[in-house]
Structure 1
Amino acid sequence: MRFRQKKTALDGRMSGAARPAHSWAADVGPGLVTIASDNDPSGLATYTLAGAWYGFDLLWVCVLTYPSTVALQLIAARVAAITRRGLTTNMREHYSRLFFYFAVARFVIANTFNIAVDVLAMGIALSSLVGGSLLWLTLASGCASLVLQWSVAYARYARVLKWLTLAMFAYVGVILLVDVPWRLVAIRSVIPRVEWTEGYMSMLIAVLGTTVSPYLLFAQAEQEVRDARESGDRGEALERTMRGVRRDTLWRTACSNAIAICVMIAAAATLHLLDHASAGDTVSMSRVLEPLAHGYARQVLALALLGSALLALPPLAGSAAQAVASSFRWKRGERRDRRIAYVLVATIALGTIAAVVLTHYHVDPVRALYWSAVVNGMTVTPVLVLLVLLSSKREAVGDLAAHWALRALSWLATIATAAAVIAHFILEVQ
């Protein structure tokens, strides 16, 4: 096995310890690009359907959840930096094993399903770009992602793949070209409009699930653990580091939510207002980009899907592998890194198999991407509950325990996701 040093994704510093070529997977460095965008194919499909089916009615979710999303990320980073342990390790130490294993199991299942639909989206993107059998392209996509994760440092290939995500700015171009009722957009962005229907609640859960992404909380925590161990920050140095994390988190989350809002507005202006799409209708995601890209809309969408999927798959699989490692109390070191790498391989393999099965049975890919976000939304509540409870323990977060505003914002997001799930259940059984 070759050994080399790995460049961190967050600040570019070189690690001093020699590690296996694939050991970045154990550290789960999510990378600035992935944290900033948080818009993998599942997210793009969800925001597109939200705009197509409900117009501008769900814009408020992306706007009003911004403070809570920032607060949750800051708590996750603070817990990891102070304790120098990941979220799952801290949760296991402080709370009931039954609740902890329940939360981790749901998280791993949701991540595996998310991987499956992202691999499927890669297959569809390649089919749009080069043509060929969707089934074989989907299988090849999963294998290619696995090879990249095993052999190339995330920071290295993210520097190349991030340029593919520029295709997402095509949604900005669309809203500048089409007729958008900006007064209505402003109203719907700050005043919630809620429909007491099962379909609306499902969409609300999906938007919450892809906006408040649990895997990014786990991945960012592991990033902070690694950075804290490498730098040895304590006291004032730690506080300076956390101030930098706060600035980065505010900016990255703003960029992520801004893209989500643009996708939703573009879909509402094209599919909902012009094509009169309604809840449950089949939607073509490339149709949204036609006012700008015209005959090349499918290719532009394919680039966005391909780039975002390749950037999202490593933290999705890596955070799931880290959760498993913490559940089994694997001690840090080379042996633990190898075990995590094998779990990561298994997770990607399961996701690829599931993607091939979805392709074989001709499952509508847009709906599959959407339901992945629904699953994320339904599984995020237990994770958020454990995380917010950690924020009240001084031994885990230090002085942050006294920051009632962050805790209040985090509880607000937790209660909102739980309320949406409960409302959906009530409507479903009626």
Structure 2
Amino acid sequence: MNPEKANGKPGLIRQLGPGLITGAADDDPSGIATYSQAGAQFGFGLLWTLVLTYPLMTAVQLVSARIGRVTDAGLARNMAKILPGWIVTGLVALLFVANTINIGADLAAMGAAAELVVGAGDHVFTAIFAIVSLLLQVFVPYHRYAGILKWLTLVLLAYVALVLMVHVDWAQVGWGLVWPSIAGVSAITTVVAIFGTTISPYLFFWQSSQEVEEVDRDEAKHALNDAPDEAAGEFRRINFDTFAGMAVSNLVALAIMIGTAATLHASGKTDIATAADAASALKPVAGQFAFLLFSLGIIGTGMLAIPVLAGSTAYAIGESRGWKTGLESKPLEAKGFYAVIAISTLLGIGIDWSPIDPIKALFWSAVINGVVAVPIMAVMMIVVSRRSTMGEYTASLRLRFFGWAATAVMAAAAVAMVAM
């Protein structure tokens, strides 16, 4: 029997795709920096935030995947049906700015991590990583590229391995997971940052559009509004894929926070600003191998996140403008789509070579993301609840509850972020 198939149903591994890649891309170098700061500064005290965000981020990503799979149209295209064009254009423009800054910060972190390992050449490595990522997106067909991204998620195991290498007080970990603790303004700021880096707009656009890609490349699949007989199997796949992908995202984030809490916080090293700072600080505390694992994890997660950031921007702009989009398309067939990917990536390199402080830029990127996420999530909830759009596949009461709860939490986080 084919191990990937049983009773005519795809095996578990084959069901993993857009949700897994989306969840793994959430742990980009910028996210690693945030989780490292949380662990180094507050020890195990903020682990509960990742327990709280899991059901919320899962609900939001389920909504985005459901919209794409049912309508065979990406999130931006569905938004354009219910919002005035100028509002969609404004939201997409802010997404472009935030994602480009994030790309620049991630590339800078990857270059800094490579320099830590090799000893020199951070700017050179930054450019190499960006160009390799760009070439893969432009010249490798989606069905192959998606496979590359799926296997690249294995790099996240480096952070799980890190936890297994260091001494951890598991009783304190258990307490940190279940007992909310916020001490001071800096802790509130970090909590807001965790929410902002965990529930990010680029992930909404990416997963929704990847579901459309899955339909477009497989002749056996159709928009569920046109093929109700496919619905049960597809919703099972989406649920499994998304729950698993978000679990991977949050488990890796927990591993980073636990690892840095058990090493850096325990040794008094709390002044972590970047992912590279965390890697460098680990070397004298946890040893050379832990340092290498952390550094290589930064590079690997960056190679996974850069195409998701650039691709989500291209999907959002292309769909809102009515362009042909899709990584399965050849460059000459979707010139505007690939132009956005190239511009986003090249501007990211420019940020690294410019006098702009990537940490300050990343802060403003987080602010933009936090503000933009709220109206986008609200519109997503409206779309997924509309029978005129979703037909008989509107979201369940439970999904709507958690989706609106996530929207409310992000609204509160955005208000706190702006206030602080």
Shorter-normalised TM range:
0.7 to 0.9
C-alpha distance in 1 between matches for 2:44 and 2:368: 23
Residue type at the aligned position of 1:220? Q
What residue is the counterpart of 2:241 in the other structure? 248
C-alpha distance 195-99 of structure 1, shift in aligned 2 (>3 A): farther
Shift in Å at residue 366 of structure 1?
6.5
Relative to structure 2, which stretch is displaced further, 326-335 or 97-106? 326-335
C-alpha distance in 2 between matches for 1:163 and 1:296: 23
Shift in Å at residue 396 of structure 1?
2.5
C-alpha distance in 2 between matches for 1:239 and 1:274: 52
User: 127, 130, 133: which is aligned to 1:139?
Assistant: 127
C-alpha distance in 2 between matches for 1:127 and 1:276: 21
C-alpha distance in 1 between matches for 2:348 and 2:247: 30
Shift in Å at residue 368 of structure 1?
6.1
Deviations 1:293-340 (A, max 9, x none): 612444322311111111111121111011111222225687762221
Please tell me whether residue 261 in structure 1 is matched to residue 254 in structure 2: yes
What residue is the counterpart of 2:228 in the other structure? 235
Residues 53 and 280, structure 1, Cα contact 8 Å, conserved in 2: no
Percentage of pairs with the same residue: 37
User: 404, 409, 412: which is aligned to 2:405?
Assistant: 412
Please tell me whether residue 109 in structure 1 is matched to residue 106 in structure 2: no
C-alpha distance 235-242 of structure 1, shift in aligned 2 (>3 A): same
Residues 105 and 352, structure 2, Cα contact 8 Å, conserved in 1: yes
C-alpha distance in 1 between matches for 2:207 and 2:230: 19
Residues 384 and 395, structure 2, Cα contact 8 Å, conserved in 1: no
Q: Give TM-score, length-normalised by structure 2.
A: 0.83
C-alpha distance 280-290 of structure 1, shift in aligned 2 (>3 A): closer
Deviations 1:353-405 (A, max 9, x none): 11221xx56x4x66766665555334322221221222221122334436111
What residue is the counterpart of 2:58 in the other structure? 70
Residues 209 and 377, structure 1, Cα contact 8 Å, conserved in 2: yes
Shift in Å at residue 57 of structure 1?
2.6
Residues 54 and 278, structure 1, Cα contact 8 Å, conserved in 2: no
C-alpha distance in 2 between matches for 1:288 and 1:371: 26
What residue is the counterpart of 2:9 in the other structure? none
What residue is the counterpart of 2:46 in the other structure? 58
What residue is the counterpart of 1:219 in the other structure? 206
Residues 42 and 370, structure 1, Cα contact 8 Å, conserved in 2: no
C-alpha distance in 2 between matches for 1:346 and 1:73: 27
C-alpha distance in 2 between matches for 1:242 and 1:280: 41
C-alpha distance in 2 between matches for 1:410 and 1:384: 8
Residues 20 and 242, structure 2, Cα contact 8 Å, conserved in 1: no
What residue is the counterpart of 1:22 in the other structure? none
C-alpha distance 191-399 of structure 1, shift in aligned 2 (>3 A): farther
What residue is the counterpart of 2:171 in the other structure? 183
What residue is the counterpart of 1:20 in the other structure? none
C-alpha distance in 2 between matches for 1:298 and 1:192: 30
Shift in Å at residue 283 of structure 1?
8.3
Shift in Å at residue 271 of structure 1?
1.6
Please tell me whether residue 201 in structure 1 is matched to residue 188 in structure 2: yes
Name structure 1 gaps, 5 residues minimum: 1-9, 14-28
Residue type at the aligned position of 1:131? G
Residues 66 and 253, structure 1, Cα contact 8 Å, conserved in 2: yes
What residue is the counterpart of 2:4 in the other structure? none
Q: Secondary structure at the match of 1:51?
A: helix
Residues 36 and 275, structure 2, Cα contact 8 Å, conserved in 1: no
Residue type at the aligned position of 1:225? V
Residue type at the aligned position of 1:95? L
C-alpha distance in 1 between matches for 2:129 and 2:165: 34
C-alpha distance 265-369 of structure 1, shift in aligned 2 (>3 A): farther
C-alpha distance in 1 between matches for 2:54 and 2:347: 33
C-alpha distance 402-168 of structure 1, shift in aligned 2 (>3 A): closer
Residue type at the aligned position of 1:216? L
C-alpha distance in 1 between matches for 2:140 and 2:275: 38
Q: Secondary structure at the match of 1:379?
A: helix
C-alpha distance in 2 between matches for 1:134 and 1:283: 11
Residues 173 and 292, structure 1, Cα contact 8 Å, conserved in 2: no
C-alpha distance 410-226 of structure 1, shift in aligned 2 (>3 A): same
C-alpha distance 154-80 of structure 1, shift in aligned 2 (>3 A): closer
C-alpha distance in 2 between matches for 1:214 and 1:124: 26
Q: Secondary structure at the match of 1:284?
A: helix
Q: Give TM-score, length-normalised by structure 1.
A: 0.82
What residue is the counterpart of 2:351 in the other structure? 354
Residues 48 and 264, structure 1, Cα contact 8 Å, conserved in 2: yes
Q: Secondary structure at the match of 1:94?
A: coil
C-alpha distance in 1 between matches for 2:146 and 2:279: 25
What residue is the counterpart of 2:137 in the other structure? 149
Residue type at the aligned position of 2:207? Q
What are the residue-to-residue correspondences of 1:72-87 with 2, within 5 Å? 72-87=60-75
What residue is the counterpart of 1:311 in the other structure? 304
Relative to structure 2, which stretch is displaced further, 115-124 or 366-375? 366-375
C-alpha distance 348-280 of structure 1, shift in aligned 2 (>3 A): closer
Name structure 2 gaps, 5 residues minimum: 1-11
Shift in Å at residue 289 of structure 1?
4.7
Shift in Å at residue 126 of structure 1?
2.6
C-alpha distance in 2 between matches for 1:161 and 1:228: 18
Residues 209 and 378, structure 1, Cα contact 8 Å, conserved in 2: no
Residue type at the aligned position of 1:151? F
Residues 45 and 370, structure 1, Cα contact 8 Å, conserved in 2: no
C-alpha distance in 2 between matches for 1:61 and 1:238: 34
Shift in Å at residue 195 of structure 1?
4.2
Residue type at the aligned position of 1:338? K
Deviations 1:257-284 (A, max 9, x none): 1110111111112122222526989983
C-alpha distance in 1 between matches for 2:229 and 2:274: 55
Relative to structure 2, which stretch is displaced further, 300-309 or 168-177? 168-177
Aligned residues: 398
Please tell me whether residue 270 in structure 1 is matched to residue 267 in structure 2: no
Residues 76 and 218, structure 1, Cα contact 8 Å, conserved in 2: yes
Residues 64 and 208, structure 2, Cα contact 8 Å, conserved in 1: yes
User: 104, 111, 121: which is aligned to 1:123?
Assistant: 111
Please tell me whether residue 386 in structure 1 is matched to residue 379 in structure 2: yes
Shift in Å at residue 183 of structure 1?
3.0
